[in-house]
Every structure is written in C-alpha cells, then in structure tokens.
Amino acid sequence: MKPDYLIQESTFKFIIKKSFRAGMRVDGVIYADEELVAQADRDRALEQVINVAFLPGIVRASMAMPDIHWGYGFPIGGVAATEIEKGGVISPGGVGFDISCGVRLIKTTLNAFEIEKHLETLARALASEIPKGVGSRGKIRVKRKEMEELMVKGAKWAVERGFGSQQDLEYIEEKGVMEGANPDLVSPRAFERGEDQPGTLGAGNHFLEVQEVEEVYRAEIADKMGIFKGQVVVMIHSGSRGVGHQICTDFLRVMDMAVRKYGYDLPDRQLACAPVNSPEGNNYYQAMACAVNYALANRQCLGFLVSEVLEKVFGQGAEKLGINLLYDVSHNIAKFEKHEVNGELKQLCVHRKGATRALPPGHPELPAAFKETGQPVIIPGDMGRASYLLVGTKQGKETFYSTCHGAGRLLSRKQAKKSIRGEKLRQELEEKGIRVVAGSTALLAEEAPQAYKDVSKVVEICEGAGLSLKVARLRPLLVVKG
C-alpha cells in the first residue's frame, strides 16, 4: 500500500507535494512502482526525500531513483540540484563518505566459453593480486608531494605513472580529471590514509566481477559500444577509500558550524551544508574534487592490475585479449552542471547520492564514440543474478540526466545475516556456475542476492520512466569481494 500523501502522477512517478510539510522548498519525486515505493515508505527513505526538499536553493524537486533506500541525510538513490547564483548549497551528506564511489566496465574480446577452464586460476590470481578488505594496503605507495599531483590529476596521474593508456582517459567521466581540486584544503589525516591505498578495492559492497554478456537488448547500440553476446567483461566497483571518508568527516564538522552561521533550519543534522559561493562551500568542493580524483586514480590502477592478471593467466598481451575500457562513472558525487530550469539555462550544483549521470545522445560532453548512442551507464546488481549496461536518454532531462546506481538494499545487514548462511550461499552460487572469493562468510551473507532488490526490476522502471535504456545484461562468472 502506498502512503496517502504520495500522488501517483504516472505509472512510475510519484509526487510528494511541497505543501505536505512546512519547510519543503520543492516537491519530492520518486521514480518507482507501487511495490518499491511502499518499501521505501517502510524504511525511512521517503522521509529523507522530504528532508532533502528543505535544502536552500534546491530547484525542480528532491528526486529519488527506483533503487531508493534509507541512507543517512540523503536517501540512497537521491538526486538534488541547487541553483548556485541564488545561494544554492552544497552538502557533503549529498555525496557521502565514499566520495566518487563508482563503477568501471572493462571489455575483452574473449568469449565466456574460452575462460571456463581458466576460472579457477583467474580467481586465485585476482585474489592474490588485487588488495582488498579492511586495512588492506596496496603496492602503489604515494608520498605527500606526489599525492598532491594525484589529487589534481586523477586518472591522468595513473596513466602518466604507466597504469593504463592515454586512450583510457577518453572513456572516464570528466576525462579522468575533476577540475577545481585543491590539495591545500585536504587534511594531513586524509593524506595519510591515502598513502598506500591507490589500487585497492576496499570492503563492504565493493567488488570486482568477471562477467559474461548474457543478453543484448539493443544490438545497434551494443555494437557501437563494442559489446556482444557471450563476451567476457570485468566490472570494478570501488571509490576514494580512506581519503574520501576523511574529507567527508572533516567537512561535516565545518558544515555543522556553517548551518548555524547561515541560520539554516534543517530536519537532519547530516544534511549540513553551506552555499556553494561561501568559504565553507567552496573549500568543501575543492577538497571533494581531490577525493574524486583519488577515486578515478584508484579505479584506473585497479583496471591496470586486472589487465595484468588477465595477461598473465591467458599468456597473451592486452591488445590480443581486446582489453579496453568501456566507461568509468561515479555514483556518489556533486558536480557543477548547466541545466534548463523554467526555460533558462542555469549553473547548478547537482548532488547524486547513489545515482548515476546518464547523458543523452548528442550531448557535447560525450566522447566521439558515444555521440550517437548516449553515455554508457554501468549498474552493478547482486552477485547471484545480474548487472546491467544502460544508456542515457533525452527524456533524462527531467532528472538532470540521472538514473539509478544499483539494485538497492532490501534487507538490513542484520536481517541478512540472520536468514542467510554464507557457506550455503557459496555452494548455491557455485552450483549456478558463479565462483566467489570473499573476505568472510559473514560478508557473503550480508551481500547475498536476497539482501538486494531485484536489479532487473529497477532498470525496467528506469526504462519505463524514460531515464535510461537497457543495452545489455551481464551475468557474474567470478566474484571477488572485500
């Protein structure tokens, strides 16, 4: 049952009118079906959509994608844009602790049947070569001076260090470098935490998967992206590690004080924010950009490590194996973007907290290869079912070209651990032909497919709502978890 304050505007679009609660500056808009919206109501996610509508300078609506669930401050799946000129704010809570957490999809020209007999070796090699888990250290060590360079140059730093090719940069959001980064605003603690973490996966829901393209929905688009049925691809889900966590923590304290200074009345302390055009807002943006660049560099290093493992296991070079980056995109980020609001082009600060940018065909920021297709959108699902490759649409304009970012959790970690046995799950997955390398069986249970919503349904709703289109479904063959 949907709560009665929700107005169903169309099949997949629900509205919470701004008149519903004093203090809301815009409507809340949830893209979902009746079942998902009811789920969002059972946890506190709808409350969070309402809270975000309080942010000073917010335009159009406080939006949520179909993978909406209870977060902290913003709901996961939340999208909110503020108008910079009109005192619009930037909120670290609208980006999260894992700044620029995101996904990259690497193509190969291998067929799934060709790797079957190598999977065991591949699993062992990836497990030993890719640093993962709590407290893991990478082989790539970066001292202060070089770290400053990394924080300014992002993936470009990695490429210059020999991790990957110049061509990769073309296929990373922002061409691998977020402008406006200023390492002077990053605390010594954040520097320290980042020292040995480039090229490390992390823990929790971060993962690396070797996948098979199981189904192609739009052959013409897939073809232009170099995607074909039966193809082996590698998906990497990771972020800015300790650097992002520390920068967010540091600036939450700053923003907590700014809320009092600017006299904001906010329903959740975690929504702490300051005008983009203020010392606090400006400083946060410049520090956040450092963490974004750290994440881009991290995923570039991880991609390079994966490529090395594949080359070693198959005894062939990257070119021969057709290893190429398809795309790399963040789903926890705030960016300055120009969008039309009430018929006028405005400079906005767009927060995507568990939402993915999805540019339409013809957008000027797209690399030449995707001018006709639109931007590839990579959606990690769960380890037992599927992940998806989507593409942006013109209709995405209404969400500032944003779509979902994953399946979205259904069960809490506590519920998952209570109802799912890690070892049994491992067996079940293996019977389905999915090999799993995981740090612990408890983690396995928490990250079980049953703990997540059905990602297929989430991407269907995104398509039904016109926010993105399905290009291909990807099935896991090998899962590496923190």
Q: Which one of the listed residues 69, 206, 245, 405 is annotated catalytic?
A: 405
Return the number of the residue (56 or 77) whose C-beta is nearest another protein.
Answer: 77
- The residue range among 2-10, 129-137, 155-163, 178-186 that interacts with another protein, by the rule CB under 8 A, is 129-137
Cβ contacts of residue 280 below 8 Å, gap of 6+? 251, 254, 255, 258, 261, 274
Which pair of tokens denotes residue 434? 């999915």
- Residue 100: C-alpha distances to residues 289, 292, 363 (Å): 9, 5, 22
Choice from 415, 421, 437, 450 touching another protein (CB under 8 A): 415
User: SS in 3 state form for 425-440?
Assistant: HHHHHHHCCCEEECCC
Q: Is 58 helix (H, G, I), strand (E, B) or coil?
A: strand
Helix (H, G, I), strand (E, B) or coil at 452: strand
**Token representation of residue 403:** 């779509």
Binders of another protein in range 390-409 (CB under 8 A): 409
| 129 lies in the site for another protein, by CB under 8 A | no
Quote the DSSP letter at residue 3. -
Q: Does 270 bind another protein (CB under 8 A)?
A: yes
Q: Which stretch binds another protein (CB under 8 A): 27-35, 127-135, 216-224, 315-323?
A: 127-135
The span of 174-182, 269-277, 296-304, 313-321 binding another protein (CB under 8 A) equals 269-277
237 given a catalytic annotation: no
Q: Give the largest CA-CA distance in the chain.
A: 65
Question: Collapsing DSSP states into helix, strand and coil, what is residue 68?
Answer: strand
**Rounded distance between C-alpha atoms, residue 238 and residue 4, angstroms:** 38
Q: Is 132 helix (H, G, I), strand (E, B) or coil?
A: coil
Task: Work out the angle at residue 108's Cα, subtended by the Cα atoms of residues 105 and 112, and round it to the nearest 5 degrees.
Answer: 105
One residue of 180, 204, 322, 361 binding another protein per CB under 8 A: 204
Closer CB to another protein, 88 or 202, in the complex = 202
- Please report the sign of the dihedral spanned by the C-alpha atoms of residue 330, residue 332, residue 338, residue 343: positive
Q: Does 322 participate in binding another protein (rule CB under 8 A)? A: no
Nearest to another protein of 240, 387 (CB atom): 240
- Smallest gap, in angstroms, from Cβ of residue 73 to another protein? 6
| Binding flag, residue 170, another protein (CB under 8 A) | no
- Listed in sequence order, the DSSP H helices in 136-240 are 144-153, 155-160, 166-170, 188-194, 219-225
Nearest CA to 70 out of 329, 251, 257, 270 is that of: 270
Q: Does residue 381 belong to the site contacting another protein (CB under 8 A)?
A: no
* Interface with another protein, residue 135, by CB under 8 A: yes
Q: Which two tokens stand for residue 278?
A: 């203020």
Nearer to another protein, 60 or 241 (CB): 241
Residue 435 lies near another protein (rule: CB under 8 A): no
Binding mask 50-89 for another protein (x = CB under 8 A): -------------------xxxxx--x-------------
53: left (phi over 0), alpha (psi -120 to 50) or beta: alpha
Using CB under 8 A as the binding rule, whether residue 482 contacts another protein is answered as yes
Question: What residues numbered 27-56 form the site for another protein, per CB under 8 A?
Answer: 43, 45
Pairing of strands 13-16, 324-330: unpaired
If one asks whether residue 331 binds another protein (CB under 8 A), the answer comes out as no
Surface-to-core class of residue 260, CB atoms within 10 Å of its CB (0-12 exposed, 13-18 middle, 19+ buried): exposed
Q: How far is the CB of 146 from another protein (least distance, A)?
A: 20
125 lies in the binding site for another protein (CB under 8 A): no
Q: How far is residue 176 from each of residues 154, 253, 326, 406, measured CA to CA in Å? A: 6, 29, 13, 22
- What angle is formed at CA 303 by the lines to CA 173 and CA 296, rounded to 5 degrees? 35
Judged by CB under 8 A, does residue 311 bind another protein? no
Residue 253 touches another protein, criterion: CB under 8 A: yes
Q: By CB under 8 A, name the one of 28, 66, 93, 275 that touches another protein.
A: 93
Complex with another protein: residue 417 or 475, whichever CB lies closer: 417
Which C-beta is closer to another protein: that of 197 or that of 375?
197
Residue 299 touching another protein (CB under 8 A): no
481 neighbors 447 (Cβ within 8 angstroms): yes
- Establish if 127 lies at the interface with another protein (CB under 8 A): no
- Which residues make up the interface to another protein (CB under 8 A)? 43, 45, 69-73, 76, 93, 96-98, 133-135, 189, 192-193, 202-204, 242, 245-246, 248-249, 252-253, 256-257, 268-270, 272, 409-415, 439-440, 442-443, 446, 482
Active site residues: 405
